[in-house]
Amino acid sequence: MPVRGRVAGVEAGRGHRGGSGEPLVLIHGFTSTWPIWEPILGRLEASYDVLAVALTGHVGGRPVPEGRSVSMDLLIDGVEEDMDEAGFQTAHLVGNSLGGWIALELARRGRGRSVVALSPAGGWGADTREEARARQLFIRGHAISKRLVPYADRLMARPRLRRALLSQMMVHGERLSPARAAQSMRDAFATPIYFDLMDAILRDGPPQTLDGISCPVLLAWGTKDRVLPLGRYSQRLRELVPAAEWVDLHGLGHVPMADDPELVARTITEFVARAPQPASAPA
């Protein structure tokens, strides 16, 4: 059984912790929040001590510390702090989109027992059409949200419209509750570091190397991902992590947890169960 102890971030309202077993950390994507994992939390908590973190500079996350600029390192450091507060020296790391990139970087720092990266970001090259496309996608999304956010509850109350409005992120947006869908729209628009982080990623560029990852890695990609289509954004990551396993999530979108919770949870748990036990397994 894990040693629970005091988890300051959770007590302060950042993130969620539940379940028991080996430690497992869930890392959401850019402009998202930890409740995006709710469709699979119960399945994971049946076997693992799950910490769903709230990224720095995002709604529900810790603010950007005074004197620090927005960067990927800032977000990675924040997740490390969350792990430290939870008593997790190492953990199984599961990340979606930007969270997948963060999970891979944490594994480079020696914090991972395994990594499951769901449609991870960072697979574009610097100064490429793919980089420019990803940036424009989020700029356009912010502009659209600005017009729609005041009507979010009304719009998301209708299943067909909910599916249409969320179709960029998932195939079956209607499977999210109206309240969760509306809140997700508001949270994304209100992300404090929305443009600062985009600028920082453009300035600093995608990862040049992911050497040093010693734990097992699974790259899992929705075949209907419209944000980071696997044909345009996966190959470079496969080259950066040549030992990684690969799985197609057939018919699922960029944020697959709501599209098919059972499949995504099974993909995670089956891979994590095959990871070797650490020589010393602190909680």
What pLDDT digit, counting tens, does each position of 107-136 carry? 999 999 999 999 999 999 999 999 999 999
pLDDT at 4: 41
Task: Please count the residues of the chain.
Answer: 283
Q: How many distinct helices (H) and strands (E) make up the chain?
A: 12, 7
Region label for 19, one of left (φ > 0), alpha (ψ between -120 and 50) or beta (otherwise)? left
pTM, full prediction: 0.94
Domain 8-274 has CATH 3.40.50.1820: yes
pLDDT at 13: 60
Across-strand partners of 222? Answer: 249
pLDDT at 74 over 70: yes
Confidence of residue 278 (pLDDT cuts 50, 70, 90): confident
Q: How far is CA 196 from CA 70, 192, 199, in A?
A: 6, 8, 5
Which helix (H) or strand (E) covers residue 146, if one does? helix 129-148
Confidence of residue 181 (pLDDT cuts 50, 70, 90): very high
- Domain limits, the chain: 8-274
In sequence order, the 6+-apart residues with CB closer than 8 A to the CB of 104 are: 95, 115, 117, 120, 122, 207, 210, 213, 217, 241
pLDDT at 192: 96
Q: From the CA atom positions of the chain, what is the Rg in Å?
A: 18
Q: Which residues of 92-103 are buried (b: 16+ CB within 10 A; e: fewer)?
A: bbbbbbbbbbbb
HSE-up of 60 (CA within 13 Å, CB side)? Answer: 23
The burial of 32, by beta-carbon neighbours within 10 Å (0-12 exposed, 13-18 middle, 19 or more buried), is given as buried
